[in-house]
Structure 1
Amino acid sequence: MTSLPDIPLPASIRSRYVENINGLRMHVLEAGFETKGRPCLLLLHGFPELAVSWRKVMPALAGAGYHVIAPDQRGYGRTTGWDARYDGDLGSFRFLNIVRDALGLVSAFGYRSVDAVIGHDFGSPIAGWCALLRPDAFRSVVMMSAPFAPPPSLPFNTANALAKPRDQDAVHRELAALPRPRKHYQWYYSTREADPDMHRAPQGVHDFLRAYYHHKSADWKANKPYPLKAWSAEELAKLPTYYVMDLARTMPETVAPEMPSAAEIAANQWLPDSELAYYAAEYQRTGFQGGLQWYRCGTSGAFDAELQTWSGRTIDVPSCFIAGKQDWGPYQRPGALEAMQKTACTDMIGCHLVDGAGHWVQQERPEEVNRLLLQFLKGAAGNRDR
């Protein structure tokens, strides 16, 4: 590990390892560690990111008096102990086991509870499940860029009628049959080819990630999202190609035409090339399969029965949602944003769309995200004290 490149971090954040976290040696970034007795916050990154994606948030939270912990999650970065093979142990990447990772990490640091778990992108549903399963340990939750979907429902009122078999989603056949044939990125990410496509991208991992991050950011001026009417091929085809891809294209081929110019790259303040180089080096070293396993767990339906144990349960701790105003993420599954606010969460005290930010909201507009997080933490504490 001594040959690994330095992490581009502010001086107030340190990098360390924590052993024996649910079978992992977990790499963790930490801020606010200088004094004991601080309340704790746990930050969970998404795909294709790493703990370092919180580098612009952690100092402000630590400055407000918190002990802030951000791990490289299972399948990512410098955390080890996970199976990197496509044909490896898929079950170790299911939601419940990743919640166990989070709970184990918090416990290892000597906390019975954290004031909030904050998740972005694929870290958002994990944060939501943390709060739903263990509200005693995760006392409030912030979900960013990806709305929380409630637990899958159990078959109901079927004692005197045969339960219908689980339908194969026809939308994928319909997408492929469009005049411009398409496919959904999550199902592409679940294929055996996705990791080698990206790990051996023709333009190299660095330029692939540059184009990918640019395409999903507010810098790509065509990101002007709006709610879709239905989960149908015709509606989903309105999404940008990073979500609903051309059928015959890989993800590197999809984003390559949107590669920003040299001048745009030089002007980028939220992810300069010197910082992107760290992401690229890590993914070049590990590949992408660890993160892609999370998608496979969802698209396969293999673990739905387990999650149905919590059918009908809601998130009852104080909750908040934050996303970029130029992010399609809140709208990629029609009705999800509204369902989260009206049904999945019973104490949602904030839902914010940050102007000037796309999908990478805590990197693109960190000052506003920091303000919203601190505002939420104050409000959540007030709700709990009632």
Structure 2
Amino acid sequence: MEIAHRFVRVNRMRLHIAEAGSGPLVLLIHGFPECWYSWRHQLTALAREGYHVVAPDQRGYARSDRPGGVEDYTIMHLVGDVIGIMDALGEENAVVAGHDWGAGVAWHTALLRPDRVRGVIGLSMPYIPRTPAPATLLMRVGMGKGYYMLYFQKPGVADAELSRDPYDTFRRVLYAPSGDGPQGGAMVVPDGGGFLDLCPDPEKLPGWLTEEDIDTYVAEFAEAGFTGGLNWYRNMDRNWALTAPWHGVPILPPALYIVGDRDMSLRMLPEEPVSPEVVPNLRGTVRLPGCGHWTQQERPDEVNAAMLEFFASLG
């Protein structure tokens, strides 16, 4: 089974989608700095089991359009794009799965539009309820001003660093937080340094990552660069303000959480990352031994099996 590529019109933009199969719709939402290719192991595997599997490049990424304003990348825009893709495909609902930043989009789609979500799967990142104060304020207090998400806030700085040598960027960024990486301390950028100082260059690539994979990412980002993805981070406080009406509202669709036991995100989360109080219909948490942050790329067979079991539970 082959992966097909085309563009759909969504919210006055052109979004690129990769797709395979037919049947109930499954949307796969990538994180940073990724694109449709991060789901290469899921697209055909899930399609062979009777699903229409669609992995878009989200706004600002790879082949999709890139709105010019930072304010064009709020969580409301991103959820709106997910719903717009369903509309463009003529579907009333879908299972929405997301990884990393894409998990945040998937969880918030389930929160804001539960009528359109048959089920939600978060990979790496659990649903994090709205905090009592803006995100960047809490990060400065808890992590210090050098925390990498705060480093990402200033337009143009991280953009230039990551674009300087995209091959080196992807080689370092895909290796460092993986289960094969060094599992270092807090993600704090040193004074006068950059984000890539936190990401050592591997002597050799781990088995799940090939030179062809890195070359593909480099090619997909050649025109788009990294600004669109970084703009997501630059909206964290704006998202906090926009989601005030949903403060304390639970996520109601059936849910699944998948995480590697070597994922750096676990160091900042409670022992049970997904609370039944905020996700009452959680069907399970799958922890993958030895797996780091790039869940569906590092452990495709286990992720595929967990997803298919969840799909079957939805009826």
TM-score under structure 2 length normalisation: 0.93
Label 1:339 to 1:252 Cα distance change in 2 as closer, same or farther (>3 A): closer
Label 1:374 to 1:279 Cα distance change in 2 as closer, same or farther (>3 A): same
Label 1:184 to 1:29 Cα distance change in 2 as closer, same or farther (>3 A): same
Structure 1 residue corresponding to 2:127, chosen from 148, 171, 177: 148
Determine the structure 1 residue equivalent to 2:140: 172
What is the CA-CA distance between 1:145 and the residue it aligns to? 0.4
Structure 1 residue corresponding to 2:163, chosen from 199, 218, 225: 199
Matched, 1:96 2:84: no
Note the alpha carbon deviations across 1:75-94, whole angstroms, 9 max, x for none.
Answer: 100001522xxxxx222211
Gaps of 5+ in 2: none
What is the CA-CA distance between 1:313 and the residue it aligns to? 0.9
CA distance, structure 2, for counterparts of residue 110 and residue 168 of structure 1: 38
What is the CA-CA distance between 1:303 and the residue it aligns to? 3.5
Structure 2 residue corresponding to 1:279, chosen from 217, 221, 239: 217
TM-score under structure 1 length normalisation: 0.76
Q: Is the 8 A contact 1:23 1:81 kept in 2?
A: no
Structure 2 residue corresponding to 1:28, chosen from 13, 17, 24: 17
What is the CA-CA distance between 1:169 and the residue it aligns to? 3.0
Determine the structure 2 residue equivalent to 1:215: 176
**Matched residue SS, 1:183:** coil
Label 1:378 to 1:285 Cα distance change in 2 as closer, same or farther (>3 A): same
**Matched residue SS, 2:202:** coil
The amino acid that maps onto 2:185 is P
Matched, 1:59 2:66: no
Structure 1 residue corresponding to 2:153, chosen from 153, 176, 190: 190
Determine the structure 2 residue equivalent to 1:252: 196
CA distance, structure 2, for counterparts of residue 174 and residue 70 of structure 1: 35
What is the CA-CA distance between 1:174 and the residue it aligns to? 7.2
- Number of equivalent positions: 314
CA distance, structure 1, for counterparts of residue 161 and residue 277 of structure 2: 38
Matched, 1:77 2:62: yes
Q: Is the 8 A contact 2:135 2:240 kept in 1?
A: no
Note the alpha carbon deviations across 1:245-295, whole angstroms, 9 max, x for none.
Answer: 32332012332xx2111xx23xx4322111210111232322111000110
**Matched residue SS, 2:209:** coil
What is the CA-CA distance between 1:380 and the residue it aligns to? 2.9
Note the alpha carbon deviations across 1:46-71, whole angstroms, 9 max, x for none.
Answer: 00000110010111211110001110
**Matched residue SS, 2:171:** helix
CA distance, structure 1, for counterparts of residue 44 and residue 143 of structure 2: 44
Structure with higher Rg: it is: 1
Determine the structure 2 residue equivalent to 1:111: 91
The amino acid that maps onto 1:196 is A
Matched, 1:302 2:235: no
Note the alpha carbon deviations across 1:310-362, whole angstroms, 9 max, x for none.
Answer: 12211111101001111112333x43x63632322011011111113111110
What percentage of aligned pairs have identical amino acids?
33
The amino acid that maps onto 1:259 is D
**Matched residue SS, 1:314:** coil
Matched, 1:288 2:226: yes
Note the alpha carbon deviations across 1:208-238, whole angstroms, 9 max, x for none.
Answer: 2101111111112x33xxxxxxxxxxxxxxx
Q: Is the 8 A contact 1:25 1:81 kept in 2?
A: no
Q: Is the 8 A contact 2:2 2:44 kept in 1?
A: yes
Gaps of 5+ in 1: 1-10, 84-88, 154-164, 177-181, 224-238, 382-386
The amino acid that maps onto 1:292 is L
Determine the structure 2 residue equivalent to 1:377: 311
Label 1:174 to 1:128 Cα distance change in 2 as closer, same or farther (>3 A): closer
The amino acid that maps onto 1:123 is G
The amino acid that maps onto 2:298 is E
Label 1:375 to 1:51 Cα distance change in 2 as closer, same or farther (>3 A): same
